[in-house]
């Protein structure tokens, strides 16, 4: 690639730092940018804290590139945090990373990069962008356990044409080896885990700290309606959860349903947390010419319903209002409203949508 101006989204971790160093070594004009998403007094630790800004700035100094911080606090609250809180209030389980990628990183930050005269915005995501038959495709990373395409399904060709994912063809081990070889200060830094904007990394601690979430006692019931115990807030539970239920039944129990209006959590055996059919909403496609968006047609597809699940065979059909019905060949564990369902063909991401409803026969 000829010399380009490239903005790198720097989080202060080893991945984005390695991306910036690799591109600088290739001779590109590299600029590091870090997003401020929260008031730093509200974010102690994690990738939304002041610590990550300091790490990113020091890394940029070591690499020899300029570094800037852009304040997207208001936009992050509007597009990500408010949705996160609302979903927990309604008994759903949100994925803030998808919305942050869609509305903040690959919209606002991408626009800011273009305003700086950049040719590309590069990130440390584990994913690949390839051109096939004249169109750009989003593909799974070589290091499948690290693949992040589940969180990137809202990208379209328009964004892909301005993005670089330099780590998509590398394993995490190879990235750390490269970082060590370049003597980068972040080479041994541990990966961030948990909810990035929660001070302790625990989503429940974050919710309880907010005035709109109160520990209101309610019933934990069996699928047959028998009262098995008490809870201190439905927002503390997610479908498929086993640990921390505080009940003893003589066998493992799992959350099967959450009803905020009745302040009730329903639990059942492992067999009760599997489902085969769901309704998805707000379905979007990476390529505008995707052949799966015709109403009334049924398509075979691979679908993934959790970031750490493997994709599974399913039948897909579009309905009105950009929604879809997805029926799996084999029952899936913990189908959960609020999560995403992402569609694949081999290693190519076709698109995805939000799980609105799980249908039980």
Pairing of strands 29-36, 67-71: parallel
Choice among 47, 48, 97, 196 that is catalytic? 196
**What stretches of 2-126 adopt beta strand conformation (E)?**
5-9, 29-36, 67-71, 120-122
Residue 78 per-residue DSSP state = I
CA-CA distance, 92 to 334, in Å (whole number)? 12
Query: 123 and 99 in contact (C-beta within 8 Å)?
Result: no
290 as an active site residue: the answer is no
- Of the candidates 277, 275, 360, 281, the residue with the CA atom closest to the CA atom of residue 324: 281
CA-CA distance, 277 to 275, in Å (whole number)? 6
Choice among 47, 48, 97, 100 that is catalytic? 100
Q: What phi and psi values does residue 324 have, to the nearest 5 degrees?
A: -155, 155
Q: How many CA atoms lie within 13 A of 33 on its CB side?
A: 25
CA-CA distance, 148 to 126, in Å (whole number)? 5
48 as an active site residue: the answer is no
Q: Where in the sequence numbering do the catalytic residues fall? A: 100, 196
């Amino acid at each position: 690639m000829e010399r380009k101006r490239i903005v790198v989204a720097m989080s202060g971790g080893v991945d984005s730092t390695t991306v910036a160093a690799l591109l600088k070594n290739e001779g590109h004009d590299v600029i590091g940018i870090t997003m401020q998403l929260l008031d730093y007094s509200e974010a102690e630790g994690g990738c939304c804290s002041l610590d990550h800004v300091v790490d990113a700035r020091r890394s940029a100094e070591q690499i020899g590139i300029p570094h800037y911080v852009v304040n997207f606090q208001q936009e992050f609250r509007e597009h990500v945090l408010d949705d996160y809180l609302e979903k927990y209030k309604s008994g759903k389980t949100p994925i803030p990373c998808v919305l942050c990628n869609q509305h903040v990183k690959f919209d606002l930050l991408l626009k800011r990069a273009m305003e700086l005269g950049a040719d590309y915005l590069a990130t440390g995501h584990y994913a690949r962008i390839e051109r096939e038959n004249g169109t750009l495709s989003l593909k799974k990373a070589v290091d499948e356990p690290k693949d992040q395409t589940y969180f990137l399904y809202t990208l379209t060709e328009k964004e892909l044409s301005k993005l670089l994912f330099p780590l998509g063809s590398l394993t995490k081990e190879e990235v750390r080896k490269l970082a060590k070889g370049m003597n980068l200060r972040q080479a041994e830094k541990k990966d961030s885990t948990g909810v990035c904007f929660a001070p302790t990394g625990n989503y429940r601690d974050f919710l309880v700290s907010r005035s709109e979430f109160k520990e209101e006692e309610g019933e934990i019931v069996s699928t047959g309606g028998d009262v098995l115990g008490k809870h201190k807030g439905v927002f503390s539970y997610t479908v498929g959860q086993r640990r921390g239920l505080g009940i003893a039944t003589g066998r493992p129990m799992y959350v099967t349903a959450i009803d905020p209006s009745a302040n009730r959590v329903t639990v059942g055996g492992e067999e009760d947390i599997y489902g085969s059919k769901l309704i998805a909403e707000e379905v979007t496609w990476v390529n505008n010419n995707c052949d799966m968006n015709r109403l009334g047609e049924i398509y075979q597809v691979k679908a993934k319903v959790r970031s750490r699940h493997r994709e599974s065979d399913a039948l897909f059909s579009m309905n009105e209002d950009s929604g879809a019905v997805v029926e799996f060949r084999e029952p899936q564990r913990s189908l959960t409203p609020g999560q995403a369902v992402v569609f694949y063909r081999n290693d190519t991401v076709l698109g995805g949508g939000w799980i609105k409803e799980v249908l039980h026969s």
